[in-house]
Amino acid sequence: MRVIAELPHPDCKITLFHMNQKYIIKFEQGTLEQSYKLSELDLTGGGANEVFQIIDEVFISTVVERFKSMRADFKIAYDKQQY
């Protein structure tokens, strides 16, 4: 797996990887991560630049909201095991 780019963002770390004719977009926030895979065949030939167009602020805001849900879900599961 090869790192193509790291995109700066104040709410999460965004890394773009390339492996086996696929782009992998990984979002990290603390101990949580989300990843999305795109086949090169699903793109129109723009490569990494086309992937960057997909990762707009609207999409990133939904990813950040999902992190909040993930954190809340994990907290509930963790707290159940503490009693």
Extents of the domains making up the chain: 2-81
pLDDT value, residue 46: 80
Quote the tokens at residue 51.
Answer: 């992937």
| Separation between Cα atoms, residue 6 and residue 15, nearest integer Å | 4
pLDDT of residue 17: 97
Q: What is the pTM of this model?
A: 0.90
Contact yes or no for 33/52 (Cβ under 8 A): no
Could you list the pLDDT tens digit for every one of the 83 residues in the chain? 999 999 999 999 999 999 999 999 999 999 999 999 999 999 988 888 899 999 999 999 999 999 999 999 999 999 998 76
